[in-house]
Structure 1
Amino acid sequence: MNDLVFHLPDDTTVAVTVIRLLNAGYAGSDQDEVAAHVAELAELGVPAPKTTPALYPVAPYLAAQVGNVPVQHERTSGEAEWALVVAGATPQDLLLTVASDHTDRELEVHGVAWSKNAGLDVLGRGAWRLVDIEDHLDDVWLRAWVTRDGGQEQLIQEATLAALLPPKYWLDELGDLLVPGTVLLSGTVAMLPGVDQFADCWRVELADSVTGKVLELSYRVERMLDPIG
């Protein structure tokens, strides 16, 4: 289990002990596009899911609010996502925050679920109550930028939340699985062509174009020491 603390716009904080961590995958709102993407990944050796959207249980201790992500090699990358945090038993206790599912791309070709459990799910420290924004989720932008070798920051992902299945879909589908202490990551949007995803730094934001409010996270990717033996 892992303890997270979220800061809300009304200057209150909510502490959550994570007991269940779920990563959605292939969760685009246009499932025909998702099917085409699955076919593209299959050509790269990534095994196709048995069904879409998919859902991958992840070890709860991998949910983290950190500025550094340790990795075992250079072929890992983030994924811009939203995260639904079930902080209690009422609709007021459903929080939305920004997230990055940092994934091991070498391991991904052997099993997507394995790759999700080989890296941290980084979550923002700020959050919104879902009830306050669910009427205009399609007006919220999800963006990510990367930096490599001390160079200029580059935009790598950009879409509105209309591109992803909404929180309500998962609330209806999963029902009683979403007990207090559950964190669900949304799945991600397409990366822009020509940008190197194997970067040193990631920055991800949720930007509400109606209210002007922004949730943001950023972290450095740090290569661990090589194993001995």
Structure 2
Amino acid sequence: MQAQFNIHASGATRPLSLDVHTLVVAGWAGRDIAAIEHHIEELAELGVPRPSSVPLFYRIGQNQMVQDAEIQVVGPHSSGEIEALVFAAEGKLFVGISSDHTDRKLEAYSVALSKQVCAKPAGSEAWELAEVEGHWDELVVRSWIEEDGKRVLYQEGSLSTLRPPRELIEGYLKASGQSTFADGTAMTCGTVAAIGGIRPSTVFEMELYDPRLNRSLKHRYTSQILPEVA
């Protein structure tokens, strides 16, 4: 997937074109193990299989990463969730935003397949990781959905509740003997709970806010629902 970013760093903005050849979704990426176990048990009651390890890394087809303002999904059962997106380019790490859009009906059968069948919308703005890594825990993720024609806050929380990106990168690469991502590798880094429970919406808006530097990364997309034919 050929991704196009505007990199905001050192007070300037420049374009970056990146051929993304490896896309990874980091699941169960929270720091509070007790809270993760509680969530696993909650999902198990809904029929979602227990993860084989925590955190768990899902390889997703690189073609599923998109930067469009609209995606297409089959049936009304999918929903988005904001995640920080860490990617490698020019021998450095950058941070953007992406939505781990997931088919919730299929999730009860296979988490991996539920993630693979949906596009992963990503924003086109990004920062150098080095500029925010020192205050990573202060960064805030938020998302909004549309319900009854109103914009409703759907997620909000600081990244202090999630494992830092380098820890996730090391966990994913542990078996390979590598220490950092090769250029063209991108990983979503976990999310925060949905306010009022996970539910679908055809409109999803997301933001990563840096209170220290008072700046945000934002992206908005809509979902076109295709018929679910039996």
- TM-score after normalising by structure 1: 0.93
Q: Deviations over 1:15-38 (max 9, x none)?
A: 111111100111111122111100
In structure 2, C-alpha distance between the alignment counterparts of 1:32 and 1:168, rounded to whole Å: 22
The equivalent position to 1:169 in structure 2, one of 158, 167, 175, is: 167
Deviation at 1:139, TM superposition (A): 1.2
2:185 corresponds to = 182
2:142 corresponds to = 143
Q: Deviations over 1:164-192 (max 9, x none)?
A: 11112023323437221111011211111
2:214 corresponds to = 212
Q: Which amino acid aligns with 1:146?
A: I
In structure 2, C-alpha distance between the alignment counterparts of 1:101 and 1:173, rounded to whole Å: 19
Deviation at 1:202, TM superposition (A): 0.3
1:55 corresponds to = 57
1:32 corresponds to = 34
Say if 2:55 is the partner of 1:77: no
2:25 corresponds to = 23
Does the CA-based 8 Å contact 1:144-1:155 persist in structure 2?
yes
In structure 1, C-alpha distance between the alignment counterparts of 2:24 and 2:200, rounded to whole Å: 24
Q: Which amino acid aligns with 2:163?
A: L
Q: Deviations over 1:120-167 (max 9, x none)?
A: 111111000000110011111100000135x11000100011111111
In structure 2, C-alpha distance between the alignment counterparts of 1:24 and 1:200, rounded to whole Å: 24
Say if 2:107 is the partner of 1:108: yes
How many residues get paired? 222
Does the CA-based 8 Å contact 2:65-2:120 persist in structure 1?
yes
- Relative to its length, the structure with more strand (as a share) is 2
Q: Which amino acid aligns with 1:120?
A: A
> Which consecutive residues of structure 1, in runs of 5 or more, have no partner in the other structure?
none
Secondary structure (helix, strand or coil) at the match of 2:150 reads: coil
In structure 2, C-alpha distance between the alignment counterparts of 1:168 and 1:20, rounded to whole Å: 17
In structure 2, C-alpha distance between the alignment counterparts of 1:52 and 1:12, rounded to whole Å: 37
Pair 1:79–1:183, CA change in 2 (3 A): same
1:133 corresponds to = 132
> Which consecutive residues of structure 2, in runs of 5 or more, have no partner in the other structure?
none
RMSD of aligned alpha carbons: 1.5
In structure 1, C-alpha distance between the alignment counterparts of 2:89 and 2:120, rounded to whole Å: 17
Does the CA-based 8 Å contact 1:148-1:200 persist in structure 2?
no
1:152 corresponds to = 150
Deviation at 1:99, TM superposition (A): 1.1
Deviation at 1:46, TM superposition (A): 0.3
Does the CA-based 8 Å contact 1:88-1:181 persist in structure 2?
no
Does the CA-based 8 Å contact 2:84-2:97 persist in structure 1?
yes
Pair 1:210–1:52, CA change in 2 (3 A): same
In structure 2, C-alpha distance between the alignment counterparts of 1:168 and 1:62, rounded to whole Å: 23
In structure 2, C-alpha distance between the alignment counterparts of 1:70 and 1:118, rounded to whole Å: 10
Does the CA-based 8 Å contact 1:96-1:130 persist in structure 2?
yes
- TM-score after normalising by structure 2: 0.92
The equivalent position to 1:67 in structure 2, one of 66, 69, 74, is: 69
Deviation at 1:225, TM superposition (A): 4.3
Secondary structure (helix, strand or coil) at the match of 2:13 reads: coil
